[in-house]
Structure formats: C-alpha cells, structure tokens
Amino acid sequence: MATNAARRAVIVSGARTPFLRAFTDYTRMDSIALAGAAVRGLLERTGGWSAAEPQGRVITALSGAQVQAIVWGGVVLPSAAPNIAREIALDLKLDAGCEGYTVTRACASGLQAITSAAAAIERGEYDIMIAGGSDSTSNAEVKLPQKLVHAGAPLALGKPKVKDYLSAAAQLAPFTDLLPTRPKIAERTTGEVMGESAEKMARIHGVTRVEQDEFAARSHRRAADAIDSGRFADEVLRVRTPEGLEIDRDGLVRADTSAAKLAELKPVFAAQGTVTAGNASPLTDGASAVLLMSEEKARELGYHPLAAFKSWSYVSVDPADQVLIGPAISMPRALDKAGMSLADVDLVDIHEAFAAQTLSVVRALGSTEWAKTRLDRDTAVGEIDIDKLNVHGGSVALGHPFGATGARMVTTMANELARTGKSTALLGICAAGGIGASAVLERV
C-alpha cells in the first residue's frame, strides 16, 4: 500500500497504558479493560491548549461522540467478547453509531489496526477514527482438553440425560484427560517455540550472545533515558487499577542493567544457546491507542498532525525457515513503495521480540547475499546506523503486549518526528506465522 496524497490520513495523537509484567498489577484488568483505559486516556488528553501552535491557539476539544469508528488489534482475544473494538465504544459510552471491528495478525495486530483505519479514512469512509491494540497475558484463557469438550458436549450445550454423564465418564478414564492445556507461544504448523526460532536465527546470521546482551542493555538504557527525560510523558497515561493502585510508569525497564549482568543469565531454550530471559521480551500486559483523522478534518478542528503514512507493507515467509525474519523483506518493500532508500530514513524502529531476532533482521538488511536470494536485487538494502535504531529502546526493555506493540511504535515515532523535526521513520515488526509488517511514517 502506498497512500493516496489526494486524501491523507494523519496521526493526531497517541496514548498508552504503562506496560507491566504479566501477572502483576494488571492481573484484574483484561484486554478490554486495558483497551478502555488507553482510549479513555487518549480522549481525555486530546484538546485544550496546543504548545506547538503560535499564541497557544485553542483546539476544539474532541468528544467521544465524534469518533466514528474504532479498529482494534489483539492476539489473546477474550472468547466471550472477541470484538474488543465494539466493547470499547460501549464501555466508554461513545456514540451508539460508533462501529468497530477487531483484527488479529499476531504481533503485527496493532499496526494492522492502524493501517486499516488509515486506509478507511483515505477511502473517504470516515473522518475521525481510533485504532490500536491491547493484550493481557495475565488473562489468557486456559483451554480444556478437546477430548473433554467432545465428551461433555451434551452436558455443556444440551439437555443431558443420565446416559450422557455415564458416556462422558467412560471416555475420560485417564486423569490427565481432565487437566487443562498449558498455553505456549509456538508455531502451530511446526511446533517451534518462538525462543527456539530466535536461537535458530542467531545461528544462521552469526549473532553472538555478547551482541545480544549488549543490544538488550542498550534497549534498557535508552528506555530509561526516555522515561527520565520526559520523552514518554506525551504518550504514557496514568492508570488506576481495580485495587485503586495508580500506575504512570512502565514497570519493566531496568536502568541499572548492563551487558555484564545479563551475561550471568542462563539460556532458556537450548543448553548451549544464546537467548535468555534478559535479551528477550517478557510477557506483558498493556494497551496503546492512536487517534487518526483526515488531514482536512484535523485542520478544521485546529489540530496540528504529528505524522502520516507514506507507505506500508505486509509479507509472509515460510515458518519452517525463519519465522521471525519477515521485517527483512517488508521493510525494503515499504521503502520501495515510498520511493525511498534506507539511507533516506531518519529513524528506524524494529520490534524487539528477541535481541537475536532484531539483530538478525539488521544483518539481513546489510547482506548482499540476502538481497540477491530473497529480495531479487543486486545490492544490500544497507547498514542501519545504531544511533538511528530504536532510539528510545524497544520491546526487550519496555515489554511486549502482543496487540499493543505496533501502536506503541507508531505513537513513539510520530511523537519523535514532531518533536525533533526529523522527516521519516521506518518501522518493522515480526509476527507469528512468518509475518513481516512495516511502515514508513513522515512528519506532517
């Protein structure tokens, strides 16, 4: 997709909950509750005085009634109400006509939601939309063995008779048939756990343990600096939990970590491996939301847009090969659609599922062999300047609520472009199923 400049969708604002380790202070907030907190905070922050405008021009405060549609991304969807987008509108009592739909594209779901909204605006369907994503690993539903479900179907869904109970009991003789299935983050088609995929990529691309730990430590330092300097003040909300706890700071960032400390951790996925709990993204709860408008509507209401999409690209690779290498294809394609080269980009933001995966993508982009065999081009895409890459840290430090990460990245990069006056940012996200997702943002 290369956007149509005749009617441009713009990013007006973004906001997110603090990201917290799963099974901690957000345990009683499911994905819908976290989504509602992010959207409510976004609406509360949108309006008032704009410091970016001369003489503090008054902006027309946006009411929830003006939001025409919501697109939301999620991975661990609640079975009782999987259309989170519509539940947000209902919970926040937005206009009854505010329609919504929920998308799932594994870890690219948040970006998918935002680009879907941008496309709808540019087609003229809506003028004001909210898009984003959320996930609560803490509230992932525990699945009963399918054998139990099949055996007990008449008990659960019909009008059971005595013979139904006897039949179900007869089929479930082993005690293990009654035990719930422990969820794991693995490819359905290959059975490969994501950490195993990262280990394989590290071997293929020659990424060492030392490089991974140095990368992870840098991610934490940069995220800590962003928090301390106030860089995240424009995006991180204050959230009140059901227990009354006030949270306004990301909970996973460790300012005092170092490569030396990380080197002490043991590998998790292979006895002689390189991937550890310290150089991988942790299980995380959180939500992130973005306000998009047609540029004409934003100007009419007095908003100064932050950024717009110049292009985006979604690709897939064989999961049996390198399931997390997709951004090494989607990023060049997004650049091609934008008529740009890597050298033209001011900022690069790559989702850090694992340090090994991010560094493998960086290696591939700098490889002539990769360019020839996978991109059908004669020269490498280019080397990424470390000073341009993940300038405020990434998922290793901040955490990774699966559906929220894409919206977090869009918000951070849009704010950074507006704040610094830089022109463009390139995003890259890997996702289960061999998906790669990328976008080029430009300052408005």
Per-residue pLDDT of 224-243, as tens digits, reads: 999 999 999 999 999 999 99
Residue 279 counted as domain residue: no
> Mean pLDDT over residues 317-335, rounded?
98
Q: Residue 46: is its pLDDT beyond 50?
A: yes
Residues 333 and 206 in one domain: yes
**Domain identity same for 294 and 334:** no
d(CA 85, CA 407): 14
pLDDT for position 158: 63
Whether residue 339 is found in the same domain as residue 302: no
Write down the pLDDT at residue 276.
98
pLDDT at 355: 98
352 and 219 share one domain: yes
Residues 297 and 349 in one domain: no
| Cα 173 to Cα 264: distance, rounded to the nearest angstrom | 46
| Domain coverage including residue 328 | 194-229+310-439
What would the pLDDT profile of 175-216 be if each residue is shown by its tens digit? Answer: 566 666 666 788 999 999 999 999 999 999 999 999 999 999
Q: Which residues are annotated as catalytic?
A: 107, 400, 430
The identity of residue 109, as a single letter, is: S
pLDDT band at 174 (very low <50, low <70, confident <90, very high): low
What residues pair up with 348 in beta bridges, in sequence order?
389, 426
Task: Please tell me whether residues 92 and 128 are part of one structural domain.
Answer: yes
In this predicted structure, the answer to whether residue 3 has a pLDDT above a threshold of 60 is no
Does residue 339 share a domain with residue 301? no
| Section 27-39 average pLDDT | 98
* pLDDT of res. 64: 85
Residue 260 token pair? 């030396």
How does residue 49 score in pLDDT terms, banded at 50, 70 and 90?
very low
Q: Which of 272, 307, 342 is a domain's end point?
A: 307
Q: How far apart are CA 339 and CA 235, in angstroms?
A: 30
Res. 54: pLDDT tops 60 = no
pLDDT the model gives residue 170: 66
- pLDDT at position 142, please? 83
Q: Torsion angle, CA of 36/73/277/347, rounded to 10 degrees? A: -100
Q: What is the mean pLDDT of residues 45-59?
A: 48
- In order of 109, 115, 193, 241, 316, the CA distances from 189 in angstroms are 20, 27, 11, 38, 14
Is 120 in the same domain as 63? Answer: yes
pLDDT at 60: 59
Reply yes or no on whether the pLDDT at 72 is more than 90: yes
Q: Which of these ranges, 24-28, 170-174, 334-338, has the smallest mean pLDDT?
A: 170-174
**Pick from 6, 7, 14, 4: which is nearest to 292 by CA?**
14
pLDDT of residue 55: 42
The answer to whether residues 314 and 221 belong to one domain is yes
Q: How big is the chain by its Cα radius of gyration, in Å?
A: 22
Q: Where is pLDDT greater, at 330 or 179?
A: 330
Task: Give the pLDDT confidence score for residue 256 in this predicted structure.
Answer: 96
> What is the length of the chain?
444
pLDDT value at 299 more than 70: yes
- The mean-pLDDT minimum among 105-114, 140-149, 283-292 falls in 140-149
What was the pLDDT predicted at 143?
77
Select from 87, 86, 33, 42 the least CA-distant residue to 62: 42
Residue at 255 is within a domain: no
The predicted pLDDT at position 63 comes to: 83
In a domain, 169, yes or no: no
Task: Tell whether 27 and 98 lie within a shared domain.
Answer: yes
Q: What is the model's pTM?
A: 0.92
Indicate whether 300 and 429 sit together in one domain: no
Q: Does residue 260 lie within any of the structural domains?
A: no
Mean pLDDT, residues 350-355: 98
Give domain status of residue 213, yes or no: yes
Map residue 161 onto helix, strand or coil. coil
What Å distances lie between residue 173 and 146, 147, 149, 162, CA to CA? Answer: 15, 11, 14, 18
Asked whether residue 1 is domain-assigned, the answer is no
C-alpha 429: how far from chain center: 8
* % of the chain surpassing 70 pLDDT: 86
Query: Comparing C-alpha atoms, which of 428, 402, 330 is closest to residue 72?
Result: 402
**Of 398, 404, 329, nearest to 364 (Cα)?**
329
Question: Same domain for 342 and 415?
Answer: yes
- The overall average pLDDT reported for the chain is 91
pLDDT in tens, 376-430: 999 999 999 999 999 999 999 999 999 999 999 999 999 999 999 999 999 999 9
Q: Residue 149 domain-assigned?
A: no
The CATH number of the domain where 53 resides is what? 3.40.47.10
User: What is the number of domains present in the chain?
Assistant: 2
Nearest-CA neighbor of 135 among 431, 385, 344? 431
Residue 271 belongs to some domain of the structure:
no
Residue with tokens 């405008």: 53
Question: What mean pLDDT do residues 336-364 have?
Answer: 98
Question: Given this model, what pLDDT does residue 184 score?
Answer: 73
Residue 115 has pLDDT above 90, yes or no: yes
**Higher local confidence (pLDDT), 184 or 353:** 353
